Structure 1
Amino acid sequence: MDRGVRCEVCGHPVRSAGEGLRVCAHCYAVTEEGIGPWTYEPPSRRWERAEMPEPEPHHAYGFVNSTLCGLTGDDIVASPYPWIPERPAACPSCRTAAAVIDARWPAEKRLPRRIRSAADIENGAPPF
């Protein structure tokens, strides 16, 4: 843990994740140094599926060789595929953990990304 550094989302202590990244163990918010916290994503778009020796159930990758349900090991890595909690093959314990973590994000931090209108673009704002 980085002493004295608090999560910008929930206020809990954060730990360094290397290369200018900090991770909150409470709400799993990721903060980039000099940029701020990453945008909120719901559980169905937030987690990668863990690559593991056993193909099922599908576990959600947490951080540093672990799953949301607490499995750890050097052979657990993030896959390039999303973890979808609604799928039947999703680990029930990861599904529960994802819901608990999601509930820790305050409502005011869940604001949707701003959608640019045609008027914004016509006035010179970039279309993203």
Structure 2
Amino acid sequence: MECDVCGQAMWQWPVVPTAWEEEIWSCLWCHATTHVGGEWFEISRPQYLPVEMRWERAVADGLPADVSHAFGVFDKTLCGIQETGMSPSDHWWLPERANACGACLAAATAIDGRWPQVMRGEGARVSVARRL
């Protein structure tokens, strides 16, 4: 599948099929996500979010407590750390905090720059509802 944001190839998540048989695709370049199938949509495309609202804080036993890392896609931090049992927390990763990982911030800024301005507005990514 081709990314509707940047035109790069997307990667399909190896998810266990659910009752709704949803596929999840993520762009390796701009990290846009597309959901195909599911109960409510044929195609669901989450809108652009700025850096300070886009990433959750990563949590895992092996991560140092004094550094805040952003949980990216593919079960890694944005700076590339992968720990067993890593997951996103219920809290935003706040890049303006003093303990925010500098490498995560650099990656988040680079990813944000890959989203064209025309794809950042409301309604730029169209979701297609299933017709009954």
Please report the TM-score for the alignment, with normalisation by the length of structure 2. 0.77
- Mapped to 2, the partners of 1:32 and 1:75 lie a distance apart of 24
Q: Distance in 1 between matches of 2:34 and 2:47?
A: 10
- Quick one: which of 9, 27, 41 aligns to 1:24? 27
Q: Which has the higher contact order (CA 8 A, sep 6+)?
A: 2
2:31 equivalent to 1:35:
no
Is 2:80 the counterpart of 1:77?
no
More helix, by proportion: 1
Q: CA shift at 1:74, angstroms? A: 1.7
- Asked whether the equivalents of residues 47 and 60 of structure 1 are also in contact (C-alpha less than 8 Å), the reply is yes
8 Å CA contact 1:9–1:37 kept in 2: the answer is no
CA distance in 1, matches of 2:122, 2:65: 34
AA matched with 1:16: Q
Shift, 1:56, TM fit: 2.3
Equivalent positions of 1:36-75 (< 5 A) are 36-53=44-61, 54-75=64-85
TM-score normalised by the chain length of structure 1 = 0.79
- Residue by residue over 1:31-62, the C-alpha shift from the partner in whole angstroms, topping out at 9 and shown as x without a partner, is 11122421000010000100022212100001
- Point out the more displaced range, 75-84 or 22-31: 75-84
Shift in Å, 1:89: 1.1
Structure 1: state its 5+ residue gaps. 114-128
Report the structure number with the largest CA radius of gyration. Answer: 1
The answer for the alignment partner of 1:108 in structure 2 is: 118
Q: CA RMSD in A?
A: 1.6
Q: Percent identity?
A: 37
Mark the runs of 5 or more structure 2 residues left unpaired by the alignment.
Answer: 16-21, 37-41, 124-132
Count of equivalent residues: 110
Q: In the aligned structure 2, how far is the partner of 1:77 from the partner of 1:87?
A: 20
Runs of at least 4 residues of structure 1 off by over 4 A? none
